[in-house]
Structure 1
Amino acid sequence: MASSPPTATLTPRTWTRDNSPFFISNDPKLISVKAVNEAFGQDFLYWTKPFPEDVLHQMLHGSMSFGVYRRLQPQQSQTEPFTLTTENTEQIGLARMITDGASFGYLSDTYVLPEYQGHGLGRWLIDCVAEVFSKESMPYIRRIMLLTSEERLQEFYGQVLGMKVVGHEERPDIGKILVYMNARPASRPASD
């Protein structure tokens, strides 16, 4: 008799900062297909376009998606728990990790909306991804990968995730040459 396949063992997490309306979560219940599709329709995300909602839903929920959010309502007090929902938050960023949940991750569709850049949210987002995709959280992780075209992002991912360029792909459809980057999390440098 065949056993059923294993399920993901990583519990969704939420990261907050003191006195900040921003937070990051990989809880799939908070992901907004509508907000992501609206971002995918903006020019700053040159590598993608909007998808049919059912396709995007599958993409976001078939991956480990890290959302960047802004609280729409202030927390009433530090002693009362604040329940985060799609009604009291606005999704302003994303990092989607395509993963088997144990040994591999491919980082894709990473952004923070332009009007929210400059608050350190992009670095924080990738730090959260690095925390989850570390040997401490995923002891059997062998490799994480991504594609990018921007030199400043190559340097950024090299610093934060310990990634190195391992190949190139010419993309005439978007007018860019992309680089493949790869990291083995065991060799990732310590966070600042």
Structure 2
Amino acid sequence: MGLRFEVTTDTAKIDFDAVYRFLNAESSWAEGIPRDLFDRAMRNALCFASLLAGEQIAFARVITDCATFANLVDVFVVPEYRGNGYATRLLEQVFAHPDLVGLRRFTLATSDKHGLYEKFGFHAPLRPDTLMERYDPDIYKK
């Protein structure tokens, strides 16, 4: 029998210190994020952790109004567990969450995992001429 795999949104079960360490030191998108800013971001989002035999191996965060819109961010699997389908299993639970079903728009940004997200119906914007953004990728390094 395989190891027990669980996806949880129970913040008491999520190791936010481990999430912070990964995002701050190993991610390309949140390197250098101040801890107080990280804590505020986590408090104001729907967080998902993947646990394998009780060990946290993956994480995802969704910023949402739980009615019409959501943005998927901070998705990662710790390096030693990559390539085993855990990201897919985590995302299956994210997109099945009752607060995230039936939303008009669900967005994300990725530089290299397009194939993964296409499995869940994501694609380039149908009307890119209507989308705009303010983006400062080095904001935590200033």
Which category of TM-score, normalised to the shorter sequence, fits these structures? Answer: 0.7 to 0.9
Superposition RMSD in Å? 2.4
Q: How does 1:149-164 map to 2 (within 5 A)?
A: 149-150=111-112, 153-160=113-120, 162-164=121-123
Residue 134 of structure 1 aligns with an amino acid whose one-letter code is: V
Please state whether the residue corresponding to 1:20 is helix, strand or coil: coil
Question: Match for 1:117 among 54, 57, 82?
Answer: 82
Q: How does 1:77-96 map to 2 (within 5 A)?
A: 89-96=54-61
Larger Rg: 1
The match for 1:142 is 104
Determine what percentage of the aligned residue pairs are the same residue: 28
Q: How does 1:1-192 map to 2 (within 5 A)?
A: 19-43=2-26, 45-71=27-53, 89-132=54-97, 133-135=100-102, 141-150=103-112, 153-160=113-120, 162-166=121-125, 167=128
Say if 2:24 and 2:33, in contact at 8 Å, map to a contact too: no
More helix by share: 2
TM-score calculated relative to the size of structure 1: 0.60
Q: How many residues align?
A: 130
Please state whether the residue corresponding to 1:59 is helix, strand or coil: helix
Say if 1:33 and 1:56, in contact at 8 Å, map to a contact too: no
More strand by share: 1
Residue 38 of structure 1 and its aligned partner are, at CA, apart by: 1.2
C-alpha separation between the residues in 2 aligned to 1:119 and 1:20? 13
Gaps in structure 1 of 5+ consecutive residues: 1-17, 72-88, 136-140, 175-192
Considering Cα pairs closer than 8 Å and 6+ residues apart, tell me whether 1 or 2 has the greater RCO.
2
Gaps in structure 2 of 5+ consecutive residues: none
